[in-house]
Amino acid sequence: MGTLVRRMFFINGENLHIQVMIGVLKMSNNKSLLCGLVVGGIIGGIATLLTAPSSGKELRGQLNLNRHKLQETLDQLKSESIALKNQVMITAKESSVVIKDVSNDLKRTINQFQQEIEPHKKDLQKEIEEVEQKIKQLEQTLQA
């Protein structure tokens, strides 16, 4: 979703409103880069057409050259984005294996900890029961 920014310029005392679309696109960097390249290519082409003091034949040659450069850039972008996608897939697979290993290690450690504290847990429960009995005996002694 893009945002719309209004900029105001004063020319000869008159207000001239120009609306500029700034692409704040919520998509992957590759798509944003691709959009930027396409928009940049279009703007560059228009600027060339409007500012180039050359003949039609020369202009067509320059446009053709620019078209080839743009095509090469798009092809390179496509190959790099495919490589990036493949790398992300490989990394995701590797990370899922690592996460499973860490999870298994954590479960094993927790089970080991629980087994180690089990004898102490019983001893603590015994001591708590003994303390409770002594408290009851003291209460009976005090009531008598």
Residues of the chain with pLDDT under 70: 1-30, 49, 52-54
Please state, rounded to an integer, the average pLDDT across all residues of the chain: 76
- Residues whose CB is less than 8 angstroms from the CB of residue 8 and which lie 6 or more positions away in sequence, other chains included: 15, 16, 17, 18
Q: What is the pLDDT of residue 140?
A: 87
β-pairing verdict for 3-11 and 14-22: antiparallel
| Tens digit of each residue's pLDDT (9 = 90 or more) over 11-51 | 444 443 333 333 333 345 567 777 777 888 888 877 776 77
How far, in Å, CA of 42 to CA of 66, rounded?
10
Radius of gyration over every alpha carbon of the chain, rounded to an integer in angstroms: 37
Written as one letter, the residue type at 21 is M
Q: What is the pLDDT of residue 35?
A: 77
Q: What is the pLDDT of residue 107?
A: 93
